[in-house]
C-alpha cells in the first residue's frame, strides 16, 4: 500500500531531473546551431547524464508510463550512436567537397551544394557536381550503416525496434501510413509531372528535368524573379506577430535572433529550450520570400512552444511527435500560399498573388512526389531490414515510380534528413495533410479569412496548449485523397 505513493514521488523527481538535463542540453545545442560559443565539455557531460538518467528510468520503471519509456529508449539509442553521427558530420564537410567548382571563392561542399545549384544555370556543371558527390557518398555509407544498426541494436535490448518506436510516437500503424503515403504519391504523380514539364519549359529552356535537377534546385529556382524584389512593404517578423495577435495568440515571448553570424546555421530553426518560458527562433536573412516562409514556419513552432501550459507533464512538453509538431509550422507557413492572405495581409496585386500561389503549389507537388519516395524507402528499410545497398536500389525504383525520374540510389545518403534521422520523412507528409485539414476546419467555421478571427485563434490555442497531449482526430482524418484533390485543382 505504501509502494504506490513512493513510486509516484520517485517518478516526479525523475521528471524534474530529466527536465533539468533537457534544458541544459537544449541551450548548448541551440548555441552550437546559432554559431555562438559554447562549452563542449559541458555538453558531453549533459549527454552522459541524459544517458544515465534514461537508463535509470528503464531500470526502475520499465515500460510505463509509456511516453517516458519511449523517450528513454530513444535517448539511449541516440547516445549510443552519437559518436557516429558526429563523425558523419565531419566527413560531410571534409570529404564531400568539389575540387572543381567554387561558390563565392570557396570550394563547393556538402553545405553549399544547394546554394550552388540554385544559382547555376549551367546544367552540365550541376550534373558534374552531382555525380561527383554521389561518388563521394561512399565515405558516408559505412557511418550511416553503422549508426542505423547501432540504434537498432540498442533498442532491441528493450524489445522494441526503430520502426515500432516511431509508429507508436506518431500513433499510426505501418499499413495505414504506407497506404497513406502511397495514395498521396500515386494520385499526385500525373499532376506533378504536368507541372514539372511546365516549369522545365520556363527554367530549363524546354529540356526535360533530370535527376540532378532535384527538389532543392526547382524549389529555389522557381522563385528567382522574386529573389531581389518582393513587392511588399512588410517585414516577416512584425507581420507574423501581428497575424497571431489578431488571432489572440501571443508570440511576443518567442525570442528571435536574426543576426548574420559566422557559423550560424543557414536554414532557419526554432528551439524550445525550456517549455513554455524559453523558446527561440534563429534565422539568417536571405531572399525576402524565403525570409517570409522561414519566419512564418518557425513562428508556428514558436507559438506552439510558448502556448503549452506550465502545468503540463514533462512528457507532454517535450515528447511531441514530428507529425504533430510540424502541423502548426506548416499551418502558418501555408498562409503565404493563400491568395487572399497575400493580397490583403501583404498587399500584393492580384497578378503577383496568383503567380506566387501557383509556384508554391508546384513546390508542394514536388514535395509530395519526392517525399513519397523518401518516406516509402525509410519505412521499408526498417520493416524489411534492408542493407544499405538494397535501400539504394529501392530508392532508385521509388524515385522513378513517384517522380518519373530515376535517381542514383545513393542520393538519399547525401540528403539532410534521410541519413540524419532514423525515420521522420513520413511525418512531413502527415503534418502537411493535417495542417490542410486544420485550415479547412477553421475556414468552415469562421470563413475564408479565418486568420482575422480571434475565435479561430482560440480553437488553435486549445490544440497548442496541451503539447503532446493533443487529440489530432478532433480535426484530422488524415485524408490523403482530400488533400490530393486540393492540389490537383
Ligand atoms: Zn519545422
Q: Return the percentage of the chain with pLDDT > 70, whole number.
A: 98
The cell for 338 is 493563400
Compute the distance between CA of residue 124 and CA of residue 134 in angstroms, rounded to an integer.
15
The pLDDT score that the predictor gives to residue 121 is 92
User: What is the distance in A from the centroid of ligand 1 to the CA of 232?
Assistant: 25
Beta-carbon neighbours within 5 Å of ion ligand 1: 329
SS3 assignment for 304-340:
HHHHCCCCCCHHHHHCCCHHHHHHHHHHHHHHHHCHH
pLDDT score recorded for residue 33: 86
Please say if the pLDDT value at position 92 is more than 60.
yes
Average pLDDT over residues 18-46: 93
Q: For residue 228, is pLDDT > 60?
A: yes
Mean pLDDT within 20-46: 93
Per-residue pLDDT band at 35 (split at 50, 70, 90): confident
Widest pairwise Cα distance in the chain = 78
d(CA 130, CA 142): 20
Element of type H or E holding 418: none
**Rounded distance from Cα 215 to ligand 1 centre (Å):** 17
Distance CA 302, CA 328 (A): 9
Q: How far apart are CA 359 and CA 344, in angstroms?
A: 19
Quick: pLDDT tens for 99-148: 999 998 999 998 889 889 988 999 999 999 999 999 999 999 999 999 99
329: CA distance to ligand 1 center in Å? 6
Task: State the CB neighbour count (10 A cutoff) for residue 181.
Answer: 24
Q: How many whole angstroms from 265 Cα to the centroid of ligand 1?
A: 14
Mean pLDDT of 229-243: 95
Residue in 262, 253, 260, 301 with CA at minimum distance from that of residue 283: 260
**CA-to-CA dists, residue 450 to 102, 125, 212, 278, angstroms:** 47, 46, 40, 28
* Cα 123 from Cα 74, distance rounded (Å): 42
Query: Average pLDDT, stretch 376-401?
Result: 98
For residue 10 the three cell numbers come to 520517485
The pLDDT of residue 3? 45
Residue 476 CA to ligand 1 center (angstroms) comes to: 19
Q: Are 108 and 97 contacting, i.e. CB atoms less than 8 angstroms apart? A: yes
Distance 315 CA to ligand 1 centre (A): 20
CA of 244 relative to ligand 1 center, distance in Å:
17
Q: Measured in angstroms, how far is the CA atom of residue 184 from the centroid of ligand 1?
A: 21
Which pLDDT band holds residue 8 (cuts at 50, 70, 90)?
low
Region for 447 from its dihedrals, namely left if φ exceeds 0, alpha if ψ lies in -120 to 50, beta otherwise: left
pLDDT digits (tens, 9 = 90+) for 305-350: 999 999 999 999 999 999 999 999 999 999 999 999 999 999 999 9
When pLDDT is cut at 50, 70 and 90, the band that residue 357 belongs to is very high
Distance 172 CA to ligand 1 centre (A): 20
Confidence of residue 16 (pLDDT cuts 50, 70, 90): very high
pLDDT score at 57: 96
CA of 11 to the centre of ligand 1 (A): 31
Distance 470 CA to ligand 1 centre (A): 18
| Cα 327 to ligand 1 centre (Å) | 8
Distance 333 CA to ligand 1 centre (A): 10
The contacts of residue 58 (CB under 8 Å, 6+ apart) are: 69, 72, 73, 76, 158
Phi first, then psi, for residue 206 (nearest 5°) are 90, -10
Q: How far is the CA of 299 from the centre of ligand 1 (A)?
A: 9
Q: How remote is the CA of residue 297 from the centroid of ligand 1, in Å?
A: 6
Report the separation in Å between the CA atom of 56 and the middle of ligand 1, taken as the mean of its atom positions. Answer: 31
Ligand 1: centre distance to CA 322 (Å): 8
CA 398/CA 418 separation, integer angstroms: 14
CA–centroid distance, residue 330 to ligand 1 (Å): 7
Q: Are 284 and 393 in contact (CB under 8 A)?
A: no
pLDDT above 50 (res 88): yes
Q: What is the pLDDT of residue 4?
A: 45
For 9, 156, 391, the CA distances from 368, given in Å and listed in that order, are: 47, 32, 20
Q: What is the pLDDT of residue 74?
A: 96
Cα 414 from Cα 481, distance rounded (Å): 31
Residue 129, burial from CB neighbour count under 10 angstroms (0-12, 13-18, 19+): buried
Report CA(138)–ligand 1 centroid distance (Å). Answer: 29
CA 433 – CA 327 distance, rounded (Å): 8
- Can you tell me the distance from the alpha carbon of 220 to that of 363, in angstroms, rounded to the nearest whole number? 9
Query: What local confidence, expressed as pLDDT, does residue 260 receive?
Result: 80
pLDDT of 450 higher than 70: yes
Mean pLDDT of 164-184: 98
Mention every residue, 6+ apart, whose C-beta is less than 8 A from residue 43. Answer: 25, 28, 29, 32
Q: 270 has which bridge partners? A: 281
Per-residue buried b or exposed e for 195-219, using 16+ beta carbons within 10 Å of the residue's own CB: bbeebbeebbeeeebbbbbbbbbbb
What confidence tier does 186 reach under pLDDT thresholds 50, 70, 90? Answer: very high
Query: What distance in angstroms lies between residue 469's CA and the mean position of ligand 1's atoms?
Result: 19
CA of 248 to the centre of ligand 1 (A): 22
Question: Can you tell me the distance from the alpha carbon of 294 to that of 8, in angstroms, rounded to the nearest whole number?
Answer: 42
Interacting residues of 436 by C-beta distance below 8 A, sequence separation 6+: 334, 482, 483, 486
CA of 278 to the centre of ligand 1 (A): 18
> Residue 446's pLDDT is what?
98
Rounded distance, CA 371 to CA 376, Å? 8
Please determine, for residue 2, whether its predicted confidence score (pLDDT) is greater than 70.
no
Distance (angstroms) between ligand 1 centre and the Cα of 296 equals 10
- The three three-digit cell numbers of residue 445, written as one number: 467555421
Q: From ligand 1's centre to the CA of 300, what distance in Å? A: 8
Residue count of the chain, please give it.
489
**CA dist., res. 190 & res. 196, Å (int):** 10
Q: Is the model's pLDDT at 262 over the cut of 80?
A: no
**Centroid of ligand 1 to alpha carbon of 446 (angstroms):** 26
* Residue 302, pLDDT above cutoff 70: yes
CA gap 478, 76 in Å, rounded: 31
Q: Which residues contact 373 (CB under 8 A, 6 or more apart)?
A: 185, 395, 398, 399, 401, 402, 403, 407
Q: How confident is the model at residue 264, as a pLDDT? A: 77
Distance, CA of 190 to CA of 188 (rounded, Å)? 6
Distance 94 CA to ligand 1 centre (A): 28
- What is the C-alpha to C-alpha distance for residues 4 and 335, in angstroms, rounded to an integer? 49
Amino acid at each position: 500500500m505504501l509502494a504506490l505513493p513512493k513510486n509516484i514521488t520517485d517518478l516526479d523527481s525523475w521528471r524534474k531531473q530529466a527536465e533539468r538535463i533537457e534544458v541544459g542540453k537544449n541551450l548548448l545545442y541551440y548555441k552550437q546551431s546559432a554559431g555562438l560559443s559554447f562549452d563542449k565539455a559541458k555538453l558531453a557531460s549533459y549527454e552522459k547524464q541524459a544517458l544515465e538518467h534514461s537508463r535509470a528510468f528503464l531500470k526502475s520503471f520499465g515500460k510505463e508510463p509509456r511516453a517516458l519509456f519511449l523517450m528513454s529508449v530513444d535517448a539511449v539509442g541516440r547516445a549510443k550512436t552519437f559518436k557516429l553521427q558526429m563523425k558523419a558530420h565531419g566527413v560531410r564537410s571534409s570529404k564531400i567537397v568539389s575540387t572543381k567548382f567554387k561558390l563565392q571563392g570557396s570550394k563547393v561542399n556538402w553545405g553549399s551544394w544547394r546554394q550552388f545549384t540554385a544559382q547555376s544555370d549551367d546544367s552540365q556543371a550541376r550534373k558534374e557536381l552531382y555525380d561527383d558527390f554521389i561518388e563521394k557518398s561512399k565515405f558516408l555509407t559505412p557511418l550511416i550503416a553503422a549508426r542505423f544498426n547501432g540504434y537498432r541494436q540498442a533498442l532491441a535490448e528493450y524489445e522494441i525496434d526503430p520502426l515500432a518506436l516511431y509508429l507508436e510516437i506518431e500513433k499510426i500503424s505501418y499499413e495505414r501510413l504506407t497506404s497513406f503515403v502511397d495514395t498521396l504519391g500515386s494520385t499526385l504523380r500525373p499532376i506533378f509531372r504536368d507541372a514539372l514539364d511546365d516549369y522545365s519549359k520556363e527554367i530549363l529552356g524546354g529540356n526535360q528535368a533530370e535527376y540532378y535537377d532535384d527538389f532543392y534546385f526547382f524549389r529555389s529556382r522557381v522563385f528567382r524573379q522574386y529573389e531581389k524584389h518582393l513587392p511588399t512593404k512588410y517585414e516577416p517578423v512584425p507581420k507574423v506577430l501581428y497575424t497571431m495577435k489578431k488571432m489572440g495568440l501571443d508570440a511576443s515571448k518567442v525570442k528571435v535572433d536574426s543576426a548574420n553570424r559566422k557559423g550560424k546555421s543557414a536554414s532557419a530553426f526554432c528551439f524550445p529550450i525550456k517549455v513554455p518560458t524559453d523558446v527561440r527562433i534563429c534565422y539568417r536573412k536571405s531572399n525576402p520570400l524565403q525570409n517570409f516562409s522561414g519566419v512564418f514556419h518557425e513562428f508556428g513552432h514558436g507559438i506552439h512552444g510558448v502556448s503549452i501550459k506550465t502545468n503540463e507533464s514533462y512528457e507532454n512538453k517535450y515528447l511531441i511527435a514530428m507529425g504533430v509538431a510540424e502541423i502548426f509550422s506548416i499551418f502558418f507557413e501555408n498562409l503565404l500560399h493563400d491568395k487572399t492572405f497575400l493580397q490583403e495581409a501583404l498587399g500584393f496585386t492580384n497578378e503577383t498573388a496568383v503567380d506566387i500561389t501557383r509556384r508554391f503549389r508546384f513546390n508542394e507537388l514536388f514535395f509530395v512526389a519526392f517525399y513519397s519516395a523518401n518516406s516509402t524507402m525509410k519505412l521499408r528499410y526498417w520493416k524489411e531490414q534492408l542493407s544499405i545497398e538494397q535501400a539504394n536500389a529501392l530508392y532508385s525504383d521509388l524515385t522513378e515510380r513517384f517522380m518519373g525520374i530515376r535517381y542514383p540510389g545513393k542520393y538519399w545518403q547525401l540528403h539532410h534528413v534521410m541519413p540524419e534521422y532514423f525515420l521522420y520523412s513520413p511525418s512531413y507528409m502527415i503534418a502537411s495533410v493535417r495542417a490542410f485539414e486544420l485550415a479547412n476546419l477553421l475556414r468552415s467555421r469562421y470563413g475564408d479569412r479565418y486568420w482575422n478571427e480571434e475565435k479561430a485563434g482560440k480553437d488553435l490555442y486549445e490544440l497548442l496548449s496541451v503539447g503532446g497531449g493533443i487529440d489530432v482526430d478532433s480535426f484530422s482524418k488524415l485524408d490523403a485523397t482530400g488533400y490530393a484533390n486540393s492540389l490537383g485543382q
